Each structure stands twice: as C-alpha cells, then as structure tokens.
Amino acid sequence: MNTSFWESNLFQTLVLIVTIGATIGIALWQFYAHKRKELRNAVSILLLQINDIEKNIEYILSEGLINGCIQEVPIHYSTIIFEENQWNKYAHSVVGHISQEAFEKIDTFFKVAQRIREQQIYIKQKIQLSTENKAYYYYSAVYNQIVITGQPLQNIQSIVDRFNESIVPSYIQKELALGLEKTLKQYHKLSDGIAYTELVKLKQ
C-alpha cells in the first residue's frame, strides 16, 4: 500500500528534525541573549564603581593629604573608596571581551584602589579613636570638677569653653601619611584611557 509523502516516515522524521533544530536554535539564542545581558549588567556596575572610586580617591588627593600631611577632618568624613570590590566579582565576565592590556590596567586600578582603601580605613580608625579619647578626657575633667572638687557651675562652663576653643589635632604617625602618599602616587585615572573605552563599548 502506497502512502503519500505527507504521511511517510521521512516526512515525520523531517518534521521532528526541524522541530528539534528550532528548539535548540531558540534555546541557544536565549542563552546567548541572557549571557549578553549579564555582560552588559556587569560592565554597567564596573563603570559606576570605577567612577565612584576615582571621585573618592581624587577627594583624598585634593583634600585629605596636603603637603605630605593628613588632613584630619576631610579624611575622617571621606567616603570609603568602595564597599565591595566589584572587579573581584565580575572580572571573569569581561575576560576575553577586552584586550589583555585593558584587562591588566583595570586589574591594576582596582589593586591600587584596594591598597588606598585599606590605608584610608586604618587612618579613619585612628582619628575615630583619638576623637573618642578626647571625649573621654573632656567628660573626666567635667565630672572631676562636679563630683570631686564640687566646683560651681560657672567653673564647669569655663572647662567646657576651654575644650571647645582648644583644637588638638589627632596624633597620626608620619609613616601613615608617607604610606598613603606613596600609594596615591601609584593611582592613575582609568576613565580617560583606552581600557575604560573598551569597557564602555561592551555596554553598547
């Protein structure tokens, strides 16, 4: 008994092959579209962090360290260089998509930023400790006058005024200033170079 082509095993096999091929094609397209989206997201996060790092480091360069001396108030209130190193998280995503030279420049940028961050945090902790010690001695002086010597309130107010008028800078070892200065000299802006441009192209 002759069967038509449309009912033959050959036709059914062809339909099955086309269906499987289309399914695989769609799955591959979705996979690569997802990977492309992940890459763009990673690059967007990296670009944002690079800009933030540059802004924070340049603040320290201009306000936090002047003539080799750490400026207490600007450093104390400076924004931490970064909270989480996004390069450690996303470097694997961009490897192979940018040149080796660009990858190395970005890697060096983040390593230098990490060293500056560590020094910044340590110096901020020293300043915080010094501030807490000043507060401790302030309260000790006031309470001693009240409890031990029984001084009248106007004498206590004079102690408060003396503390407010006297500015005693925090003791920060010169080695810390020298270390920070040396590390800051290793910093090079990334956003005006080729490595940054290559990252931007990946986002498009």
Domain ranges of the chain: 5-203
Mean pLDDT over 66-80 rounds to: 90
Least Cα distance to 77 among 136, 137, 120 occurs for 120
pLDDT tens-digit readout, 170-193: 777 788 889 999 999 999 999 999
Least Cα distance to 91 among 104, 101, 76 occurs for 104
pLDDT tens-digit readout, 16-60: 787 787 777 776 777 676 677 888 999 999 999 999 999 999 999
- Look at 108 and 203; give whichever has higher pLDDT: 108
Cα separation of 37 and 88, whole Å?
Answer: 19
Cα separation of 83 and 63, whole Å?
Answer: 21
Tell me the residue type at 98: I
Strand boundaries in 32-180, DSSP class E? 65-66, 69-70
Backbone dihedral region of 68: left (phi > 0), alpha (psi from -120 to 50 degrees) or beta?
Answer: left
User: How many helices (H) and strands (E) in the chain?
Assistant: 7, 2
